[in-house]
Amino acid sequence: MNLVSYEKSCDTKAGGYAHICKAIQHADSLMDQITLMKHPEVAYWCKKHRVYHVGRDSFMKPEVRAVYEPASWSRGRELSLRKGEVSTFKRNRMTLPI
């Protein structure tokens, strides 16, 4: 991995999380909201900024991804249902003619 590109992409992150649980919730929420992703969203520790960031993991092994993604989708969906959020699918069905 090119260290310069890592620093650049890390520096352009909007923010970070002091607690991993909040970063995981954000990553799971993104996994629930976005239908198709080339790589799963994950929380990771940033040594430079000393916070947790959320980003795509392009190095995750297929066998790990097969377990991680369904669990992340499930956690993200559970979180959105607890908050009472309307899913994108339901919102679009309410506003678009069928």
Q: Which residues contact 10 (CB under 8 A, 6 or more apart)?
A: 46, 48, 49, 53
SS3 50: coil
* pLDDT tens, position by position, 30-48: 998 887 888 999 999 999 9
Length of the chain: 98
Q: Is the pLDDT of residue 53 over 50?
A: yes
For the chain, what is the mean pLDDT? 81
Compute CA 16 distance to the chain's CA centroid, rounded to the nearest angstrom: 13
SS3 59: coil
With 0.75 as the threshold, say if the pTM is over it: no
SS3 75: helix
